Chains A and B, each alone.
Chain A
Amino acid sequence: MVKKILIRLLRVATLLIGLSILTFSLIHISPMYPINTYVGGDSSTSPEQIEKLREYWGLNKSPVEQYFSWAGALLQGNFGVSKLYRTPVMDIIKSRAMMSFALMGTAWILSGFFGYLLGALSALHRGKTLDKIIKWYSFTLVSTPIFWLGLILLIVFSVQLQWFPVGLAAPAGVLDSEVQFSDRLHHFVLPALTLSILGVASIALHTREKMIDILNSEYVIFAKARGENKWQIFKNHGFRNSILPAISLQFAYFGELFGGSVLAEQVFSYPGLGSTLTTAGLKGDLPLLMGIILVSSLFVFTGNFIADILNTVVDPRIKGEV
């Protein structure tokens, strides 16, 4: 068990190193030049100033030297300063991560609960009307791009019904200290809903598959032969055998969740990690981009890691082997 955890941690360290090298190289071969994106349309900058800036940022050094100076600073806990916001990267990530985690957390819990519920119901009523409805809903939504769903929700609930604001995390033009919780909630509903609705569909389909396998298994046939009714079969065998894969799937779902939140945040101009990542990428803000990529890959890794550990701790069969 301890050995397994150590191997996992070693693996994530190499993953992060590889990932940072990859990101660094990609940014380097991209046509964006940091100084141009930084100076932007300001043509009053003199060549001397630009030269000074180059030197100050270390752009006159080789890419390898640049990478190592960045990595060296990182090892001391310094993520650098965002070129775009001119604040330390860590501060930006901290404030944005809270927004994103609230969004993803809500979607995670809602989609996990309702996804499992719908999937199980569907499997237990296989072939009946309820199953057909749930399957139709899931297949339709699973093949729906998240930004498109976000736009549809915006059109219906914000533009036409005007129930919810069009975007942002708080009303525009209001001081942060004066924003009420209800305002935040009001802005939070649509992005969270977008993210949850899609999650529900894929989890429902997975749960349905798993549950159908279980219902066709020999131990459920035996349960039937012993006179257990549908509810008893679910309670005694179905739930027990499906909840573990469902939970580990739910944690492994972190990656997809983050990917979805990048798009959802973009559509709703919601200031979370995802939309900041997009901005950083488009504007060539390397320190910020690297910071977010590292933090988000750690996040995804954590999900998979928890899934693994949970399985080991809870499933008696796996526990027996360790």
Chain B
Amino acid sequence: MRAGQKKPLLQVDIHEGEIVAVVGASGSGKSLLAHAVLGILPGNAICEGRIIYRGEELTEERKLRLRGREISFIPQSVNYLDPLLRVGKQVQIGLEKSTAQLKQRELFRQYDLQERDGQLFPYELSGGMLRRVLFATSVREGVRLVIADEPTPGIHPQALAEILKQLKTFAEEGARVMLITHDIMSALEIAHRVAVIKDGCTVEIAEASAFEGRGEGLKTEYTQRLWSALPQNDFDGEFIEKGAVGHGFSGK
């Protein structure tokens, strides 16, 4: 899978069985990238460039055919759930009719949701539970590409581990996984490579192993600063060096 444009250049590729984390500041175009691949940009959006999926151009018709079948999407916000549809039913959409209910209950168990939670409406569940419901909607047989748009905020550690594990399972079964996230540390646990995006351009695509120590293995300064801005990497180091503590750190 590859999304590319002439200028500004945004290019990401994901191989079979690989997890690529896409990180970047808010507004850098991470979600837009996901929506473009899925073909769910608003009607007035202009989308240029080419998206190659399994050796063939991913046209709108092809997206229509593959969405929800080979391509799975985990959206960013719990508002993506229908407020008037019981969550169990929402998970059943797209599953084989005869086994949908069974499969849904199994998924609920897997993500630590009660069986009766399926009878509830989204407003009756907590944010973390809704995240898990959203995640459950993505688990389908025969998925070849998973696009997860920040699936982790507001989730307690066990559920987070479960989600990361599932993403890993997707990859082990040969799917390509695009994990869009702010949480670099969790992403690094499972990602093979990390694409850093800024203002709609790829800054660099680094091996996950390069995010180590003081980030000497990272090619660009932007990525290095992003890395050192994390709390556990003495994020105020650069400010102390430049004598500008309290100056703010935009774009991190």
Contacts and interface: CB of A to CB of B under 8 A. Distances in A.
Given A226-B137, A317-B121, A237 B85 contact: yes
Nearest to A240: B84
B94 A226 contact: yes
Given A228-B94, A236-B93, A219 B68 contact: no
Chain B binding site: helix, strand, loop or mixed by DSSP?
loop
A225 B94 contact: no
Interface stretch (B72-80, B167-175, B181-189, B191-199): B72-80
Contacts of A31: none
B82 A237 contact: yes
Contacts of B83: 219, 241, 317
B38 interface: yes
A289 B124 CA distance: 51
Interface in A213-229: 216-219, 221-228
Given A227-B94, A316-B84, A320-B124, A218 B67 contact: no
A305 B88 CA distance: 33
Interface string A59-81: 00000000000000000000000
Interface string A302-322: 000000000000011100100
Nearest to A220: B82
Contacts of A316: 84, 121, 123
Nearest to B89: A236
B103 interface: no
B93 A241 contact: no
Interface residues of A, number: 22
B81 interface: yes
B97 to A, nearest CB: 12
A317 B83 CA distance: 8
Given A224-B40, A226-B137, A227-B94, A219 B67 contact: no
B2 interface: no
A320 B125 CA distance: 12
B75 A222 contact: yes
B84 A221 contact: no
B82 A221 contact: no
A240 B83 CA distance: 10
B68 A228 contact: yes
B93 A225 contact: no
A108 B23 CA distance: 55
Contacts of A240: 82, 84-85
Interface in B32-61: 38, 40, 42
B75 A225 contact: yes
Nearest to B94: A226
28 contacts: A216-B42, A217-B79, A218-B79, A218-B80, A219-B79, A219-B80, A219-B81, A221-B75, A221-B80, A225-B40, A225-B67, A226-B67, A226-B94, A227-B68, A227-B69, A228-B68, A228-B93, A232-B93, A236-B82, A236-B93, A237-B82, A237-B85, A240-B82, A240-B84, A240-B85, A244-B84, A316-B84, A317-B84
3 shortest A-B CB distances, which residue pairs?
A227-B68, A222-B80, A226-B68
Interface of B: 38, 40, 42, 64, 66-69, 73, 75, 77, 79-85, 93-94, 121, 123-124, 137
Interface of A: 216-219, 221-228, 232, 236-237, 240-241, 244, 315-317, 320
